[in-house]
Amino acid sequence: MSKKAIQPEDLYDYQWVSDPSIHPDGSIAYMHKIIDREHNQYKTHIYYISADRKHTKRITDGDYDTAPSWSPDGRYLAFIRKTDKKPQLWILDYTSGSMTPYSKLERGIGFFRWSPDGRSIIMTSRVLGEYEKQAHLPDRGHIVERTTPKAEGSGLWNGTYQHLFLLELQHRQIKQLTSGEFDASYPVWSPDGTEISYLAQKKPSIIYSDMDIVFYNDLYTLNMASEQTELQTRHDLTISQFAYAPDGQSWTCIANNREYGSGTQNQVYRVDRSTGQIDSLTPHSDIQFGNFILNDMKSAGAIPGPIYDINGQSVYVLGTYQGSVDIYRITNQGTCTAITTGGKDIHQLVVAPQGDRFVALIADANHPYELVELPVDPVAHHLSNDPYRLTHTADLWLSQHEVSIPESFWYTHEDGIKIQGWLMKPVQVTDNSDNIPLILQIHGGPHAMVSDVYSHEMQTLVSQGYAVLILNPRGSFGYGQHFAQACRQDFGGGDYRDLIEAVNHVLQHHPELDEQRLGICGGSYGGLMVNWIIAHDHRFRVAVTQRCISNWISFYGISDIGISYTEGIVGGNPWEDFDRLWSQSPLAHVQHINTPLLIIHGEQDMRCPIEQSEQLYTALKRQGKQTKMVRYPDSNHTVLKSGKPSYRIDLLSHVNDWMKQHIHFPIEVNP
């Protein structure tokens, strides 16, 4: 039987896994997500894999259960259950199988961790601050006094702050530990359980007096006996994750110093408790530490921090480098060694209590994300056996469908910068095929990375008979700091040339591609570049721009990152640098756009608000240009990745239809 071409509606058949937690006996709990087609929503359950790996079963009975975590002794499994839109902490007794709710906080919980002795759990929850007038109240207007009163994914600020709460399990008592006009996040227990470290922005920096436009944070400790808080860093870093050293006398952090704004690559730092000294262990590395691959199939979930080896002499971290995310070991002396080697995306890395195995989400070009076990020698610090896939959610489906495997290539730009990309060809083509339409797909960020990892979005395009070109132009992470900052204050310059030269490169090396039938797509920063390119290069027959930017002047005031991004990355503000910002705005060049343009946007997008697309659409329509706009209600910046299932399918269908309307191709697909 011939295999089927991948269609947008195949999204309904995917399953997702995430949030692995390893029991002391080696068994594993994890979250399993499916789509409820009838109700147009996702459902999440907790599953269990036995220690001998012979049995897998569902162990919770809710429809919205996430974030499983075993207690240190393995007796209990804590998880988050959402009921009435309020996520609360529940605990499953491993012996009896009983499940009990342990929190009833007014606004639910967002994150939790077991104490080392298993007697307590630290949680985060939001509480009203002193300025209650800024809360959403039904009988009066919403007063705004903050510089940036909204945030992507949550909307207008409702007057709440995130704080830490302690649950004492024996008596089921919950106590608020922090308070004030700041957000406390990422709580971590000290190894002896006597204190908690957390991240917060409590004071303005020397440069900025407004906390809404400051992106640094500090590390604080909270003594559990005295309840005294102590500041451990001094406005030096933006810290993403951290971990205590086994002796509790230092912390290892994944962080950056914001020297180049959001284009600053992360390093691995050590913060010494006694001296306050902060040292980078990786000052000259080209690796972007953390996971920065963009992919529509990746599950959201907790991002674990650095993992110490059993001897406390090194840490394991994830690093993004040249199209792959791998595990790296960094010693206390700063030696960095790859434990895995390329060709994959590793996400949500956790380690067994004995230190002899990792479990993580891993995807590659052939297969979407699955849970994989990686045996490791805790003494020699290398994989001791081949990785073992624990879940097989996509095996049957993949056996029935054609998958295009991207071909990797590099080219050197005329200014000496090396660019990495991938070309995906339709699986229906033969060696004698020609006249294949080519679509340039531009990723968002720009400070992120794409790779050859399996993507439903890309596979649906290729399955329609198009070749798809993806690449990491200058500004992408994973190629060193110089590369990451190379597009700063130069949007539409070097990055534009990288993208166009990549098209020229593949056309030159692949005569089967039709240079007369070119399409272009992109989202967020990628949408900005679509708008810019079709205003300056008229080779593309069709274009799709999603959640885009068209006007830096208005973006400055309406995006949740408008001030910091425009000033720090684009360069300037509207009252001092109007001409510069306007000249770099695609809207300033809209009269030159003649390419048929499909515009797609979520109506609740706070990152690149929908007015950016509305301005572009109106200008094009007023000039009689060929354009169409698709709007998705109640959808934010991530509609393609985590929006309503029907919206995601509808979006991909609109893209396919728009391409088909404007690029005729002769290849027959097998539906």
In angstroms, the CA 472 to CA 529 distance is 13
Q: DSSP labels for 121-159?
A: EEEEEEEE-S-GGGS--TTS-----SSS-EETTTEE--S
In sequence order, the 6+-apart residues with CB closer than 8 A to the CB of 396 are none
Does the active-site annotation cover 347? no
CA 92 to CA 249: how far, in whole Å?
34
**What angle, rounded to 10 degrees, do the helices at 645-662 and 456-463 form?**
30
Burial environment of residue 431 by CB neighbours within 10 A (0 to 12, 13 to 18, 19 or more)? exposed
Q: Which amino acid is at 490?
A: D
Distance of CA 236 to the CA centre of its chain: 24
Q: Give CA–CA dist 359/30, Å, rounded.
A: 11
Active-site annotation holds for 637: yes
Angle between helices 494-509 and 525-536 (to 10 degrees): 70
Closest CA to 164 of 218, 119, 111, 115: 111
Selection from 600, 617, 598, 619 nearest residue 541 by Cα: 598
Catalytic annotation, pick one of 120, 524, 550, 554: 524
How far is Cα 118 from Cα 114, in angstroms, rounded to an integer?
A: 6
Q: Write down the residue that tokens 């306050």 correspond to.
A: 276
CA angle 438/612/660 to nearest 5° reads 25
Nearest to 340 by CA among 326, 330, 352: 326
Sign of the dihedral defined by the CA atoms of residues 456, 457, 461, 464, in that order = positive
Q: Give me the active site residues, please.
A: 524, 637
